[in-house]
């Protein structure tokens, strides 16, 4: 009896490999979605965002993304035009607050934390005044390129901003059907 199950399992595995190989041969396209921060990386793969050296509280930096497909038969890229890219990050700030900022990784953490140079605590107050460190959405152009602006404040020095981007499918806007990527960015001097 044991040998029958083994033979059946091996047969199903071989058939599924053949079906997978046929499927891959039919569609030579691989989806490509990447964030292009235009920043240097350290040895650990973290991007480095230097704050303005001119003493301003706010630093702005443009970040790009590419949406498209790689065609392995033609060895070229097919750009996805007019694809909406949704941007989020884990850092937030409030106008006229020069002491600290807020941190929460959406979908991963329950609470906002208020961070200052010498302390942090869970924040449970009104979040409607929070400013996002990244714009909500962008649309890819004819070259598959979209962009957004990162806005960080000087009190975020030394923290790591987790920049996330995704494209929802056009059928049901269900987050698990999306192309998704995130990159860590260390805020430095």
For residue 5, what pLDDT is reported?
A: 53
Q: Cα separation of 60 and 49, whole Å?
A: 10
Which has the closest alpha carbon to 32: 184, 165, 179? 179
For residue 90, what pLDDT is reported?
A: 95
Helical H segments across the chain, by residue range: 2-26
Q: Cα separation of 95 and 112, whole Å?
A: 17
Q: Per residue in 123-155, pLDDT tens?
A: 998 999 999 999 989 999 999 999 999 999 999
Q: Phi first, then psi: give them for residue 21, nearest 5 degrees.
A: -65, -40
Q: What angle do CA 143, 147, 149 make, to 5 degrees?
A: 165
pTM above 0.85, yes or no: no
Average pLDDT, the chain: 83
Confidence category of residue 94, pLDDT binned at 50, 70, 90 = very high
96: left (phi over 0), alpha (psi -120 to 50) or beta: left
> Dmax of the chain from CA atoms?
77
Q: Per residue in 29-87, pLDDT tens?
A: 777 889 999 999 999 999 999 998 876 789 999 999 998 888 878 788 888 888 889 99
For residue 30, what pLDDT is reported?
A: 79
- Quickly name the fold that domain 28-188 has: Immunoglobulin-like (2.60.40)
Q: Cα separation of 94 and 144, whole Å?
A: 33
Secondary structure E strands in 90-188: 91-93, 100-103, 112-116, 120-123, 131-132, 137-139, 145-153, 160-167, 179-188
For residue 107, what pLDDT is reported?
A: 76
Q: Cα separation of 85 and 178, whole Å?
A: 10
């Amino acid at each position: 009896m044991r040998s029958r199950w083994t033979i059946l399992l091996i047969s199903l595995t071989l058939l599924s490999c053949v079906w997978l190989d046929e499927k891959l041969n039919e569609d030579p396209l691989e989806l490509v979605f990447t964030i292009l921060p235009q920043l240097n990386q350290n040895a650990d793969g973290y991007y480095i965002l230097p704050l303005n050296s001119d003493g301003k509280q706010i630093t702005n930096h443009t970040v790009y993304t590419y949406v498209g497909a790689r065609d392995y038969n033609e060895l070229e890229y097919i750009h996805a035009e007019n694809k909406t890219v949704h941007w989020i990050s884990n850092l937030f700030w409030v106008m006229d607050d020069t002491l600290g900022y807020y941190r929460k990784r959406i979908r991963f953490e329950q609470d906002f934390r208020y961070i200052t140079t010498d302390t942090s605590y869970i924040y449970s107050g009104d979040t409607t005044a929070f400013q996002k460190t990244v714009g909500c959405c962008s649309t890819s152009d004819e070259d598959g390129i979209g962009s957004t602006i990162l806005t960080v404040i000087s009190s975020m020095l030394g923290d790591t901003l987790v920049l996330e981007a995704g494209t929802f499918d056009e059928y049901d806007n269900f987050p698990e059907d999306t192309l998704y990527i995130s990159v860590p960015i260390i805020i430095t001097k």
